[in-house]
Chains A and B, each alone.
Chain A
C-alpha cells in the first residue's frame, strides 16, 4: 500500500449552487447517484428534535411526479438499490442502478429536491411518524445497550451543544412533529446550494454533467442556509472540571458495559486521523491492545471497541468494553484509562503501531471497492471541505502519523477532566 492514488474525479458547480462531482469507472455496468444535503440533527432545536431524520423518511413518500412509495418501486424494478441515512451533520440519499438507468436516478433525486411540497401530505406524515416511532423502539428501546449512544452524547456535550440530542429525536418530539415544521424544514435546507450531487460509475463524464444540468439546473437556488452556532469553549472542547460526567443506567442486560468518551477535534483535522489510527491500535484486530489485554490475557471483558465519530463539529472518541460476569465495572474502566495513560506516557510498541497502520490502510482501501462507498466518500469530502480531493491526504495521514503524535493526542485531548463515563448495568444488580 505504498502508492496512495487520488480517486479520479471532476468537480463542477451549477449556477444554482449545486456542486456536481463525477467519478467515472467503467469496470461494471453500474452507476451510483448520491446526494448529500448539508443538514442533520445539529441544525435542529431542542424541543423539535428528530426532524432531519423524520424528513429523510418523508423523502421516500413521493414528490410531484413520483407517487407515494414510487421511489423504491422505480429503483427496484430496474434492479437498483436505494436508501438514505441521517447523522448529526448531514443527510444522504443514494441509489445504485444498472448504468443504463442513470436518467432514472437523476429524475427521482431532482424531483424530490425541486418538487416535493405538493406531495407532502398529513396522511404520509402520520404513517412515517408511526414507522419512526417503531424504528426508535426496535433499535433503541428494545435493544440491550440500545440507549447507550444517546446517553453518552448527552453526558459528553453540555447544554447548547447540538450533539447533545439524539439523531432520531426524542419520542415526544417525533410524535409532536407537524406538517408545517416538516415543510419549513424542506424550504430551509433542501436547496441545490446546500447539496452535493455525486455520480460514480459507468458513464462518460461530459454526458453525465449534461444530464445533471438538465435535471437539476432549473431548480432555483434557496435562501442562504442558517449557520449552526456552536458554543465556543476556552480550550476548544466542552470542559467541565466542576462536575464529573458520569451516568449509570440500569437496563435489561446480562453484563455491565463501560463507555468512556472524549470530545476531540473534528473530522478532517490531523487529530481526527490520529484518533482513528489509535482506535485501530486499541481494538483493530486480535493482537490489538485492548483485545490482547482485556479479552485474551486477563479475560475480564467479553468484547471491546474503540472508534472516533465522523463529526463535523467535533470528533467523539469512544472506548467501550463489556465486563464478563463477575467482573466489576470499576476494574474495566480503570484498565481502559490505564491503557490511555500508558499511551500518553509514550509507551507505544513500534511493531504494534505498524500493524495498526496497515490495518487502517487496508480497511480504508477495502471500503473503496464498492461504488456507493466511493461516491459517499467523495460527497463527504466535498460537503465538509469543499473539495472531493482528499483520498491521498487521508491515506497519507495513516501512513505518517508518529507514535509521538499519538501520545501527544492522548495527553492533550483525553485527560480525566475531558472524560464522560457511562455504565449500562444489569437491572437486577442496580
Chain B
C-alpha cells in the first residue's frame, strides 16, 4: 500500500486526455447542415432542428414574437393536433418540444434509440408543416401573458429586466425574449406565421442527432428527405447597438416587504463571435464564475452578505451583458455594492497572481469533460458550433486558447472590457432602508415596478 501524507494535497497520478466526441458534419445541397454523433452510453437519442430564429430577430416593438412563434410550432399539423403530437412523441419514449432562445429557435425530440425512424418522421412533420391553429394561439397567449404578470412578483427577474432596459433601450435586448404584456397582445396568427416562414427554412437549419445511432445511415436518410429541395434562406442577424453610457447610474425598485435586496451590476460586453470572447470567459470565471471566484469569496465567505454571488458573460450573437448577480442582506446592500466595485476596479488595475491564473485555467479545462457527459451536453455543444458558425475542431482549439492566456493578456483584457465607470447598478428591495445606502454612492433613480 503506498503511504499517505495528510499534511498536503496528494499528487496526481498519470492524467488521461479527453477529446470532444467525433461527429459527422455534412452540408446538404439546399444548405441544410447535419451534425451527428454516436454516443452509445444509454439506449436513448435526441434529434434537433436548429434555426436562426431567436429573440435577436424580434422586429422593433414586437418583443416575444420569436419565442411565441417557436412555442406554436408543436401545437398542430394538418394531420395531428397538439395533444396528438405530444402522445406520438411520448409513445416513442420521449418528448417533443419547440422553443426559442436569444440566438436560435429549435424543434427537438427525445426518444428511445430503437424508435429513430418514427421520431425523425414526427420531427420532420412538426418542424416543416405546422398550422398554428387559432385556438392554440389564444391559449398560449393567455399562458404567456399570465407568465409575464407573474414575473413582476419575482425580485430576481425584476432586477434582470431593469438592468436590460437600462443597458439596451431601443434594441431587442431591452426586453425579455418572452416579450411584454402589451407586445404579446398584438401578436396574432399572421405575425407568427410570417415569422415562421421567414426564419425556419430548412436551407438555413442544422439537424443535430446525438445518441445510440449510426451517423452515416441517419445522415443519408436526412439528406434524402430534407436536403434536396431548394428553400429560401433566413435573414441574417442584424447588429445590436447598446445604449451609449457615460458614468455610473443607480436604479432602485421598491419592494417594501422584501427580505433581501436583489442586486445586479453590469454593462454591455462583446458577443460570442468576438475574438476576445474565449479569453474573457477565463476572466469571468476568475472574477465570478466559480465558487472560489473573487466576488463570491469576498461577498459570501469574507463578509457573509449573501448565499452566493456570480458574474456572467452574455455570449450572444450581439453584445450581451456582463453582469454581477447576487441577493444580499438588506442592511449590507451599500457595502456589497462597494465590494463589487472594488473587485471590478482591482481586476483591471492589478495583475493577477500566476497561481490564481493557473487555478482558473485548470478549472475551465478540467470541467470540460464533466460538462460533456450526457447526450444533451454533446448536443448543446454542437448547437453552439452551428449557431455561431464555428469550425469542427473548435473545442480542441478552445482548450488550447484557454491554456495560452497569460497574466499580461488578462490585465489588458480586463482593462478594455471591464468598465466600472459605465456600470449600471440595479437594486430590488425595501427602498426605505436600501435607498440611503445607495444614495451614498450617487444619485438614485427610483423606478416604479412594471
Chain A contacts to B: CB under 8 angstroms? 1, 27-30, 64-65, 68-69, 72-74, 76-82, 96-104, 107, 111, 115, 126-135, 137-139, 141-144, 202, 210, 213-215, 252-255, 285-287, 292, 295-296, 299, 302, 324-325, 351, 354-355, 358-359, 361-362, 365-366, 368-371
Q: A131 contacts B306, CB within 8 Å?
A: yes
Q: A107 contacts B13, CB within 8 Å?
A: no
Report the bound CA distance from A334 to B288 in whole Å. Answer: 47
Q: Is B329 an interface residue (CB 8 A)?
A: yes
Q: A78 contacts B366, CB within 8 Å?
A: yes
Interface centre among A77, A139, A354 (most CB of B within 10 A): A77
Q: A302 contacts B260, CB within 8 Å?
A: no
Q: Contacts A76-B363, A358-B90 known; A366 to B44 CB distance under 8 Å?
A: yes
Q: Which of B146-154, B198-206, B383-391 contacts A (4 or more CB under 8 A)?
A: B146-154
15 more A-B residue pairs beyond the given contacts A79-B364, A366-B44, with a C-beta to C-beta distance below 8 A: A65-B6, A68-B301, A79-B370, A101-B12, A104-B12, A126-B304, A129-B304, A131-B300, A134-B305, A137-B260, A254-B153, A292-B83, A302-B146, A358-B93, A371-B373
Q: A96 contacts B370, CB within 8 Å?
A: yes
A426, closest chain B residue (CB): B153
CB < 8 Å: which of A77, A100, A107, A253 contacts B4?
A107
Q: B153 contacts A144, CB within 8 Å?
A: yes
Q: Contacts A254-B149, A254-B150, A296-B83 known; A127 to B301 CB distance under 8 Å?
A: yes
30 contacts between A and B (CB under 8 A): A29-B15, A29-B16, A29-B17, A30-B369, A65-B8, A72-B290, A77-B292, A78-B12, A81-B367, A107-B10, A134-B327, A134-B329, A137-B259, A139-B307, A143-B154, A144-B153, A214-B1, A252-B153, A254-B149, A286-B86, A296-B139, A302-B143, A302-B150, A325-B146, A351-B91, A358-B90, A362-B44, A362-B110, A366-B42, A369-B42
What total count of A-B pairs have CB within 8 Å? 214
Q: B13 contacts A100, CB within 8 Å?
A: yes
Q: Contacts A29-B18, A77-B362, A102-B13 known; A214 to B292 CB distance under 8 Å?
A: no
Q: Is B320 an interface residue (CB 8 A)?
A: no
A25, closest chain B residue (CB): B41
Q: A369 contacts B146, CB within 8 Å?
A: no
Q: Is B413 an interface residue (CB 8 A)?
A: no
Q: How close is A123's CB to chain B, nearest CB, in angstroms?
A: 11
Q: Is B142 an interface residue (CB 8 A)?
A: yes
Q: How close is A146's CB to chain B, nearest CB, in angstroms?
A: 9
Q: How close is B94's CB to chain A, nearest CB, in angstroms?
A: 6
* Residues of chain A lying within 8 A (CB to CB) of residue B7: 65
Q: How close is A58's CB to chain B, nearest CB, in angstroms?
A: 13
* Residues of chain A lying within 8 A (CB to CB) of residue B3: 214
A144, closest chain B residue (CB): B153
A324, closest chain B residue (CB): B146
Q: A287 contacts B83, CB within 8 Å?
A: yes
Q: A361 contacts B153, CB within 8 Å?
A: no
* Residues of chain B lying within 8 A (CB to CB) of residue A253: 150, 153
CB < 8 Å: which of B44, B362, B373 contacts A79?
B362
CB < 8 Å: which of A78, A142, A361, A368 contacts B155?
A142
Report the bound CA distance from A82 to B257 in whole Å. Answer: 35
Q: A369 contacts B373, CB within 8 Å?
A: yes
Q: A359 contacts B93, CB within 8 Å?
A: yes
Report the bound CA distance from A97 to B14 in whole Å. Answer: 13
Q: Contacts A79-B366, A142-B259, A254-B153 known; A115 to B6 CB distance under 8 Å?
A: yes
Q: Is B23 an interface residue (CB 8 A)?
A: no
Q: A142 contacts B327, CB within 8 Å?
A: yes
Q: How close is B284's CB to chain A, nearest CB, in angstroms?
A: 14
Q: Is B217 an interface residue (CB 8 A)?
A: no
Q: B41 contacts A138, CB within 8 Å?
A: no
B349-376 to A contact mask, C-beta < 8 Å, 1/0: 0000000001100111111111011110
Report the bound CA distance from A202 to B368 in whole Å. Answer: 16
* Residues of chain B lying within 8 A (CB to CB) of residue A104: 9-10, 12
* Residues of chain B lying within 8 A (CB to CB) of residue A365: 42-44
Q: A73 contacts B149, CB within 8 Å?
A: no
* Residues of chain B lying within 8 A (CB to CB) of residue A68: 301
* Residues of chain A lying within 8 A (CB to CB) of residue B143: 295, 302
Q: Is B112 an interface residue (CB 8 A)?
A: yes
Q: B304 contacts A134, CB within 8 Å?
A: yes
CB < 8 Å: which of B6, B93, B259, B366 contacts A80?
B366
Report the bound CA distance from A302 to B148 in whole Å. Answer: 12
Q: Is B180 an interface residue (CB 8 A)?
A: no
Q: How close is A317's CB to chain B, nearest CB, in angstroms?
A: 22
Q: B41 contacts A369, CB within 8 Å?
A: yes
Q: A72 contacts B291, CB within 8 Å?
A: yes
* Residues of chain A lying within 8 A (CB to CB) of residue B258: 142
* Residues of chain A lying within 8 A (CB to CB) of residue B367: 79-81
Q: Is B238 an interface residue (CB 8 A)?
A: no
Q: B93 contacts A362, CB within 8 Å?
A: yes
Q: How close is A254's CB to chain B, nearest CB, in angstroms?
A: 5
* Residues of chain A lying within 8 A (CB to CB) of residue B302: 127
* Residues of chain B lying within 8 A (CB to CB) of residue A82: 291
* Residues of chain B lying within 8 A (CB to CB) of residue A107: 4, 6, 9-10
* Residues of chain B lying within 8 A (CB to CB) of residue A144: 150, 153-154
Q: A302 contacts B1, CB within 8 Å?
A: no
B74-87 to A contact mask, C-beta < 8 Å, 1/0: 00000000110011
Q: How close is A409's CB to chain B, nearest CB, in angstroms?
A: 22
Q: B90 contacts A287, CB within 8 Å?
A: yes
Q: Is B297 an interface residue (CB 8 A)?
A: yes
CB < 8 Å: which of B14, B43, B358 contacts A100?
B14
* Residues of chain A lying within 8 A (CB to CB) of residue B358: 77
* Residues of chain A lying within 8 A (CB to CB) of residue B9: 74, 104, 107
* Residues of chain A lying within 8 A (CB to CB) of residue B18: 28-29
A102, closest chain B residue (CB): B13
Interface centre among B147, B290, B375 (most CB of A within 10 A): B290
* Residues of chain A lying within 8 A (CB to CB) of residue B16: 29, 98-100, 202
Q: How close is B261's CB to chain A, nearest CB, in angstroms?
A: 9
Q: How close is B200's CB to chain A, nearest CB, in angstroms?
A: 21
Report the bound CA distance from A286 to B91 in whole Å. Answer: 12
Q: B366 contacts A138, CB within 8 Å?
A: no
Q: B42 contacts A131, CB within 8 Å?
A: no
> Which 10 residue pairs spanning A and B have beta carbons closest together?
A79-B366, A130-B304, A286-B86, A77-B359, A29-B16, A103-B10, A100-B12, A141-B259, A135-B307, A369-B374
Q: Contacts A65-B7, A299-B142, A366-B42 known; A285 to B260 CB distance under 8 Å?
A: no
Q: Is B328 an interface residue (CB 8 A)?
A: yes
Q: Is B2 an interface residue (CB 8 A)?
A: yes
* Residues of chain A lying within 8 A (CB to CB) of residue B277: none
Report the bound CA distance from A317 to B261 in whole Å. Answer: 34
B157-192 to A contact mask, C-beta < 8 Å, 1/0: 000000000000000000000000000000000000
B90, closest chain A residue (CB): A355
Q: Contacts A252-B257, A366-B44 known; A79 to B139 CB distance under 8 Å?
A: no
Q: Is B95 an interface residue (CB 8 A)?
A: yes
Q: B41 contacts A214, CB within 8 Å?
A: no
Report the bound CA distance from A103 to B257 in whole Å. Answer: 49
Q: How close is A106's CB to chain B, nearest CB, in angstroms?
A: 8
